[in-house]
Amino acid sequence: MKVKDPVCGMTIDSDRAAAHGTYDGETVYFCAVSCQKTFEARRAKR
Ligand SMILES: [Zn+2]
Protein backbone atom coordinates (compact mmCIF):
# COMPACT_ATOMS: atom_id res chain seq x y z
CA MET A 1 0.00 0.00 0.00
CA LYS A 2 1.33 3.41 -0.95
CA VAL A 3 1.17 5.93 1.84
CA LYS A 4 2.34 9.47 2.33
CA ASP A 5 4.74 10.52 5.04
CA PRO A 6 2.92 13.52 6.59
CA VAL A 7 6.17 15.14 7.72
CA CYS A 8 8.24 15.32 4.53
CA GLY A 9 5.50 14.46 2.02
CA MET A 10 7.39 11.51 0.58
CA THR A 11 5.31 8.66 -0.86
CA ILE A 12 6.42 5.38 0.65
CA ASP A 13 5.37 1.76 0.63
CA SER A 14 3.78 0.87 3.98
CA ASP A 15 5.66 -2.45 3.93
CA ARG A 16 8.96 -0.60 3.71
CA ALA A 17 8.22 2.25 6.08
CA ALA A 18 11.06 2.81 8.53
CA ALA A 19 8.62 3.66 11.27
CA HIS A 20 4.92 3.79 11.96
CA GLY A 21 2.58 4.59 14.78
CA THR A 22 -1.12 4.76 15.58
CA TYR A 23 -2.49 8.21 16.27
CA ASP A 24 -6.17 8.78 17.04
CA GLY A 25 -6.83 5.24 15.81
CA GLU A 26 -5.16 5.87 12.46
CA THR A 27 -1.90 4.22 11.43
CA VAL A 28 0.62 6.72 10.10
CA TYR A 29 3.76 5.64 8.25
CA PHE A 30 7.09 7.43 8.08
CA CYS A 31 10.12 7.19 5.82
CA ALA A 32 12.44 7.50 8.79
CA VAL A 33 12.36 7.39 12.57
CA SER A 34 13.35 11.07 12.57
CA CYS A 35 10.14 11.92 10.70
CA GLN A 36 8.11 10.07 13.32
CA LYS A 37 9.87 12.03 16.05
CA THR A 38 9.07 15.29 14.28
CA PHE A 39 5.43 14.23 13.87
CA GLU A 40 5.14 13.36 17.57
CA ALA A 41 6.82 16.60 18.61
CA ARG A 42 4.31 18.57 16.51
CA ARG A 43 1.40 16.69 18.08
CA ALA A 44 2.72 17.34 21.57
CA LYS A 45 2.66 21.08 20.90
CA ARG A 46 -1.09 21.18 20.21
ZN1 LIG B 1 9.80 11.44 5.99
Residues with CB under 5 A from ligand 1 (ion): 5, 7-8, 31, 35
Q: How far is the CA of 35 from the centre of ligand 1 (A)?
A: 5
Q: How far apart are CA 1 and CA 34, in angstroms?
A: 21
Taking the whole predicted model, whether its pTM rises above 0.85 is answered as yes
What's the farthest any 2 CA atoms get from each other in the chain?
30
Q: Are 31 and 4 in contact (CB under 8 A)?
A: no
| pLDDT reported for residue 26 | 96
| CA of residue 5 to ligand 1 center, whole Å | 5
Q: How far is the CA of 10 from the centre of ligand 1 (A)?
A: 6
Integer Cα distance of 35 and 7 in angstroms:
6
User: Which uninterrupted H or E stretch holds 43?
Assistant: helix 33-45
Query: pLDDT tens digit string along 1-46?
Result: 999 999 999 999 999 999 999 999 999 999 999 999 999 999 998 6
